[in-house]
Structure 1
């Protein structure tokens, strides 16, 4: 009973009430229990010195590194610590762009500060990720997967919504797939003068094996290997803080696909990318990411279709 009371009080104090807790060790008075691995781990050697005693009632949890899954080959995680924000995630942190070994020893910190200011971004980037509109699912090839009549109406509504924001958009980058290109052409009618750029990097694919897995969608392992590297390349190429030469804030539109957008959101927020399939996006929806000069990232909107009448909303 004493053990249960101590555990309940400690868990509640840590905000863990109602959840499952893994105990590394629990010390109560002079008694101590040491957890042994259920996967065949050896019990402590009686001849070895006992582990250091913990204060009565202390609940010890495993370190974050022990609970984080291993990252895929193309991802990098600092110290394996969950919840850690990597300030140099886009490799554009000022201190990472200069050679500290060349610092002038006479001027010291003054020169270093001046050099850091030179490499520091000044502007904020606004990234608008648009999912393509509804398309013909029966098409056998990409060129046959054209927008449906409803899909064209959705694209019109999305274009009107973007135009109503009153922002000076710099460009529209879109996937080269038919449904994304057609969506872009309709949207661009409402944004005259904004240049369009097509790229294969933003094409649909399987970015990374989702966790938890789902039974009705299981691409081959090679598809994750090929598509994942390409979609990660799209993220690194397009999602980063502003260039140091950029003086004013920018507003950019990217028209692509649900899998690509969900993966990009996870990576930009430094959430586990394996969770991308836990999000759902409507056709023609708008997702808004903000990247500050400091490298901090904020999600303003995720899959917004509030500008569409309910009967026009689909998720195919």
Structure 2
């Protein structure tokens, strides 16, 4: 069953308040006030940044570093985010080498006081078996069970409406990976998540999701890399 978009994160105010089993006006008033206290009043703008091009032949994560082109792509993206001039609230990065390298390059273009956190939940993986299946990408079945729950947990942790105490809109950067971003987009828009592999994502591109106070979600841009020179774009 598909939930309506404003319930996608299962954080609608009524779900956060214990129901009142009484028709007494004073109890109903308290209940309604508690619901009001759980309502969001701010919008979360979430910018999902894919890492730059990297050495795909590396055998370990430490060897899968950004290529020269990947470093240039990250620089272009940092410059673009700087030009947008939003009041960036937080930066969260995957703990994989290519994501941390990308994040470090982007940070150099932004104000120094933006809080940075890292999360293992955001590392690359196999979120769910794609439909239709790919002829070229065939992980072992156990990988979907191992990674799927983690990436779903990442979605629930990072993609949701603003908490009630947040009074101003936030502009949050998350530097991670193609499969994670594609899964987040499908889940946020409540499209069939198994279709995630049909989407393509450029290196160091910007995907922008907005989660409004009522829980509705807008995809403002997807895989935006048009600010890069044509010969710097790869995927």
Cα 1:177–1:104 shift into 2, 3 Å: same
Q: In the alignment, which residue of structure 1 is the partner of 2:185?
A: 265
Equivalent runs, 1:140-219 vs 2, <5 Å: 140-191=59-110, 192-219=112-139
CA positional deviation for 1:112 = 3.8
Q: In the alignment, which residue of structure 2 is the partner of 1:255?
A: 175
What per-residue deviation string (whole Å, max 9, x for no partner) do you get for residues 184-238 of structure 1? 0000001122122111100000000000111111111100000001101100111
Q: In the alignment, which residue of structure 2 is the partner of 1:88?
A: 7
Q: In the alignment, which residue of structure 2 is the partner of 1:44?
A: none
Question: Residue 5 of structure 2 contacts residue 189 of structure 2 at CA under 8 Å; is this kept in 1?
Answer: no
Question: Residue 130 of structure 1 contacts residue 284 of structure 1 at CA under 8 Å; is this kept in 2?
Answer: yes
Determine whether 1:105 maps to 2:24: yes
Going by fraction, where is helix more abundant, 1 or 2?
Answer: 2
Counterpart CA distance in 1 for 2:216 and 2:180 is 21
Counterpart CA distance in 1 for 2:148 and 2:15 is 26
- What RMSD, in angstroms, separates the aligned Cα atoms of the two structures? 1.4
CA positional deviation for 1:106 = 2.6
What per-residue deviation string (whole Å, max 9, x for no partner) do you get for residues 9-48 of structure 1? xxxxxxxxxxxxxxxxxxxxxxxxxxxxxxxxxxxxxxxx
Question: Residue 103 of structure 1 contacts residue 112 of structure 1 at CA under 8 Å; is this kept in 2?
Answer: no
What per-residue deviation string (whole Å, max 9, x for no partner) do you get for residues 93-150 of structure 1? 1111111225561336544432221110111000000000011112111101111111
Structure 1: stretches of 5+ with no match in the other structure: 1-79
Equivalent runs, 1:126-137 vs 2, <5 Å: 126-137=45-56
Counterpart CA distance in 2 for 1:217 and 1:250 is 36
Q: In the alignment, which residue of structure 2 is the partner of 1:298?
A: 218
Divergent runs of 4+, >6 A: none
Higher relative contact order (CA 8 A, sep 6+): 2
Using the size of structure 1 for normalisation, the TM-score is: 0.72
- The higher radius of gyration belongs to 1
Structure 2: stretches of 5+ with no match in the other structure: none
Question: Residue 103 of structure 1 contacts residue 111 of structure 1 at CA under 8 Å; is this kept in 2?
Answer: no
Question: Residue 20 of structure 2 contacts residue 27 of structure 2 at CA under 8 Å; is this kept in 1?
Answer: no
Aligned length: 234
Using the size of structure 2 for normalisation, the TM-score is: 0.96
Counterpart CA distance in 2 for 1:310 and 1:206 is 30
CA positional deviation for 1:286 = 0.1
